[in-house]
């Protein structure tokens, strides 16, 4: 199978799962805060992935990793499985779901930008147009069309979500430099996220047991939305260009917006639709960019 076709299939599996992030984040934070929810989700992801490593008899791959490898992978784990989700879950618990959703999906736009500087991928005119359209869509949603008097509720929370999205873009770009077995690598990522979230939970919150209604979304999040989706994303990044994959991720916010309106009665302003269309257009235009 052609590498670009494989990359496309993997990324489509990812976005199908990532579209559920707002649902599990809201349903899993009824009594838990973002520190506690991240800890339980990361813990489940780690154990599921570790069991998969054992089942596929890949434990020996850990022995082949140097101290430098462990340090680099730990840094990536902090960026992509701890900081990103910590700020994202905070956003969905404190701010408007639609605003968080659009800001969350600036990370594919940052991938295009960072790929130019870090991976030395060529910056084409279509990529430039895609970036401009993407940021225009985000700006439209955050200002709600009031360009002279910006009206952003929970601005500090939204800023943290934006910082987290940038971290995830950096995580994705740097993953192109990882050569180790994907399943083992993602297991390390969630080990780091589990340890980091445990420390932050004890430092800024407290240990808490999930309530019965929170168990199912935490399991769904830990096993699929977080756990195996990272394996698919890793395989996609290894198959083709990061900037080629970025546009496909814009399918996820469409699914997420539908879920937010359907399950949580999120208000859908027309300006949100316009911003979402610009972000999707950015992805479609960038998909026509030649490598």
pLDDT digits (tens, 9 = 90+) for 131-184: 788 777 777 766 666 655 445 567 788 899 999 999 999 998 898 888 888 889
Q: What is the pLDDT of residue 149?
A: 47
Question: 267-276 burial by CB neighbour count: b if 16+ within 10 A, else e?
Answer: eeeebbeebb
Residue 254's CB is within 10 A of a number of other CB atoms, namely 17
Q: How many domains does the chain have?
A: 1
pTM exceeding the 0.85 threshold for the entire prediction: no
Residues 177 and 195: their CA atoms lie apart, in Å, by: 24
Whether 230 shows a pLDDT value over 90: the answer reads no
Owning domain of residue 186: 3-287
Name the nearest CA neighbour of 25 among 108, 96, 88: 88
Please compute the mean of the pLDDT values over residues 188-198 and round it to a whole number: 96
More confident residue, 140 or 75: 75
């Amino acid at each position: 199978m052609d590498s670009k076709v494989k990359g496309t299939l993997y990324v489509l599996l990812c976005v199908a799962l990532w579209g559920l992030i707002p649902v599990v984040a809201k349903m899993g934070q009824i009594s838990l805060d973002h520190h506690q929810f991240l800890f339980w989700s990361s813990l489940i992801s780690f154990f599921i992935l570790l069991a998969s490593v054992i089942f596929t008899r890949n434990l020996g791959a850990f022995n082949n990793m140097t101290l430098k490898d462990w340090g680099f992978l730990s840094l990536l784990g902090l960026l992509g499985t701890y900081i990103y989700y910590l700020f994202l879950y905070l956003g969905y618990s404190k701010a408007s779901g639609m605003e968080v959703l659009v800001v969350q999906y600036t990370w594919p736009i940052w991938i295009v930008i960072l790929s130019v500087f870090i991976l030395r991928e060529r910056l084409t005119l279509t990529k430039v147009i895609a970036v401009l359209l993407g940021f225009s869509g985000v700006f439209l949603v955050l200002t709600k069309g009031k360009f002279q008097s910006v009206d952003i509720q929970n601005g500090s929370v939204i800023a943290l979500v934006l910082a987290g999205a940038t971290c995830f873009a950096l995580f994705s770009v740097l993953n192109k430099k990882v050569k180790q077995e994907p399943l083992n690598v993602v297991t390390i990522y969630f080990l780091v996220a589990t340890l980091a979230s445990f420390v932050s939970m004890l430092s800024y919150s407290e240990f808490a047991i999930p309530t019965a209604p929170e168990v199912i979304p935490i399991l769904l999040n830990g096993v699929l939305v977080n756990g195996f989706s990272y394996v698919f994303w890793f395989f996609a990044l290894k198959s083709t260009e990061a900037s080629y994959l970025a546009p496909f991720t814009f399918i996820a916010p469409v699914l997420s917006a539908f879920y937010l309106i359907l399950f949580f009665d999120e208000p859908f302003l027309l300006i949100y639709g316009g911003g979402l269309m610009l972000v999707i257009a950015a992805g479609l235009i960038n998909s026509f960019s030649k490598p």
